[in-house]
Structures are given as structure tokens and as C-alpha cells.
Structure 1
């Protein structure tokens, strides 16, 4: 019962922290409603396209930290089973995607916040994730494709790594990775449609834009 209550409390904490719309708040300081600009998404990519690269990086780092904090807190201070840690991580990501602080509940797409959770719960996947993401992003200049590919690749990576190391597959972790990949695909469904029809905008670095 104790672990259940702690897990529930940390899931709520993760959801509320994950739901903080960092991109929206950063853009608001420039008197811009990011939901009405570009793709309308409250994430680092749309922030970068609208406000400039520096602001996009700021939002990306803040969103990443939202994923790190609840999972790291749960891992360091409580002896919770893996299922509890995974539930807390997923609650944090869902908070980012479906923000409780916005009327429409439309938040970001879960990429950076999900990466924060992965960094804590699957640290060995960090190098692989970075290589896949930047290889696809630089090779195609489609951030959406890079994001989707990275999360999908984590599934076979976990299976192959477990096999090579002779470790049993933890099905809770496998289910988590599968659900997270499906969530990333869901949040990128319009991007997938544009990729199919060759209308997805390519990312390009640009200097910070000035908004008076």
C-alpha cells in the first residue's frame, strides 16, 4: 500500500510538472502565442522556427528536465519497483502532451520530455538515441522523422541488448517503450501525413529572430 500511494503521488507530481507549457511561457514573454504560429505545436522545434534557435534550445532543455526530475527523484529517494518508475515516467510525458494548464490541453509532442525519462530509466540507450536522432535529422533535415525513428529504434535496441548481455527481458520496460513509441507516432500523425505527401517543412538553423 505504501508503494502504491507513493507511486500515485509521484505520478500526479510528474503529470503536473510535465504539463507546464514551457514553450508557451517562453513565447508569451515575447508577446507571442505559439499555438497560432508555425505548426501550432508547443515544442522546441516550433519555438526555434518562430523565435530563433536559442529559444528553441532553451525550451528543449527545460522540457528535457521536466522528464528527468520526477523519474530521478523517484529513483533516488524511494525503493519503488520498475513498474512504478515507468508509470511515473509515462505520467510525466502525458502531462507534457496533454497539459492540464491549457484550455485545449494541447501541449508538446513528448520528444524532449520523453528523452529526459529515457535518460534516467534507460541510460544505456542515450548514445544510441543521440546517434540515430542526429543521423536522421542531419541526413534528411526532418526533425519529426528523426524523433519518430529514434523512439521506434529503442525497442529493437532494448531487445538486442538484453539478448547480447544474457539478461531476461523485462516486459514492463518493453511495454513502456512500445507505448511511448506509439504515443510519439500519435503526436506526430500530422507530420507523418505531410512526410507521405512530401509537404513536411525541413529544419534549418537560423539566427535568433527579433520580435518587438
Structure 2
């Protein structure tokens, strides 16, 4: 009897259903779960308990920091720095350069050459240089085919670096584009057309040889030059 009495005196934690059939509210004496950090020594990290307020969680998160590149590598940075109005690369030209590095990695090449710069222009696809090449029958499939014929493929076991460094002729092609824009003094951006013409200026480079094999010529280079010099020209 004494045992029964002592058990009955203990507080009940079981919710009692109401007559309406709705679940009873949780006991207010128990605190709600709050956002806190728990140490996890075997993982070496802090574990976060999920808050009951997802909006507050989102606001407390640290922002993701990203780096945007606004220029392409140059062998003579002081030349640009000394200019009254240093020319900037267009958005499409920067995209094309990023795609060229990716293409070099796909082919397992240790460097980014003029052939990769060409493929980058076509992969980006929206610039006037890309449209001009496509209109003259130069497709990405043909470019890759000619590239493999000329240079072969990288070994399967080889892993290209994240950012394959430029070959000497590829760097000269970029610098040629910068020089031409500095000479013109028109204050315009350096575009994919300038990049394409820079590749063409390197007569012994793989990019020039591939373009020539696919029908590109000095006459087409002059046509591109005239297009880019028209008033209101936009690289896209």
C-alpha cells in the first residue's frame, strides 16, 4: 500500500488527451531546444543543433566568399599599369579563357596552348568570334579532331593541374591582343576577336596551324578586324 502511495505521488509526464481529441501541449516546464554548439573531439569539429527558427539559422550563416578574375595573365604587367586607361578583358573573353583551361585538362595536357584557347572560344559560344568561326564551318568537333591529329592525347594516367600554365605562344597571343588594344587607344575592352587574332598572329603555334587547316586565312582575319572596329561593337 505504501509503495502504491509513493508511485502515485510522482509527477506524470504523459500527455492527457482532451475531450476534443487534440493533442495536449507539451509541458511548459521543459525548455525549448535552442541553438548551441557541441564539441566533437573525435571529429575535431563543432556540431550545431538545429534551431527551431530556420530563418535565424540562415541569417547566422557565414557568407561564401568567391573570387572573380577580371583580367588574363600577361608577361608584362607594368606595360598595362603605365597606360593612361588600361584596357580590360571582356566578360566573354574571360569565360573563353576559363573554358580553355578546362579543355586542356580534359585532353590531359600539362599546359594551356593556343589550340586550347581556340576551343575555349567555341565552348563559350556566345561571342562574335565564336559565331564567326561557326559560320565559316569551324566547329568544336573539328577543332578537337585537328588538335588530336596534331598533338595527340595525354596519357590516361596523367592528371593535368587545376590551372594548366600557358605555353609561350599562348602567352604571346594574349600579349598581342593587349598590345593592339593599347596601340589603338580607343578605350574599348579586349574581346574574343582580339584573342582569336592573337592566336592567328602566332604563325608557328598549334592554334594557327589548326585554323589554317580549317580554312581560316588572312582575309578572314581582316574581315574580323573590320567587324570589331565598327561603332557600337559589342563582344556578344
Give the TM-score, by structure 1 length. 0.34
1 or 2, which has the higher helix percentage? Answer: 1
